[in-house]
Amino acid sequence: MKRFIFILALFAFFSCSKKEIRITNLSETSLGHHATRELEKYLGQVYGDVDFSVVDDPDENIQYLLSHQAADLGFDQLPAVEESFLITEKDGKVFVISPDERGLLNETYALLEKLICGFYISGDVIPEAQKWIGFGQWEMKDEPLINERFLFNWHNFLSGCTG
């Protein structure tokens, strides 16, 4: 009887454990490290049933790479424009690829916005916790339309009657 209770308790323990997804930054850039921490933070809030963590192992579920590193792994049609990115799935892993570190950060926020997070002047909007559905909708590619962008940090500059 004790053996049966032990087996039942062991089964209950393992059936209640969260799915674990690990994120690694192989780009060795400071913005890449920041991007992986941001992805971990927001995905952990959106998908409460999954344990996201940032690790340094090279063979993890989500990998941040620069374009030249991805070329060494056999990827083709890689982004070449500064701040562009590609998110693709291969062998059950997600690869986040960009030619520079700013593209890695752009990708992180573009992906989070696609997953229904909002980033506004008034604050971040995070949806209620959802059930994990996998990496199925994560494939995307983007690049800037122009080389230089300017930001007027006055949110009401030349709007309304003043325009």
**pLDDT tens, position by position, 89-116:** 988 899 999 999 999 999 999 999 998 8
Q: What is the pLDDT of residue 112?
A: 94
CA 120 → CA 44, 102, 116, distances in Å? 20, 19, 13
Structural domains of the chain sorted by starting position, each given as residue range(s) with its CATH number in brackets: 17-144 (3.30.379.10)
CA 121 → CA 46, 106, 124, 126, distances in Å? 20, 17, 8, 14
Segments of the chain with pLDDT less than 70: 1-16, 151-163
Q: Which amino acid is at 73?
A: L
d(CA 162, CA 109): 32
Structure-derived torsion over alpha carbons of residues 51, 142, 116, 133, reported in degrees to the nearest 10: -50
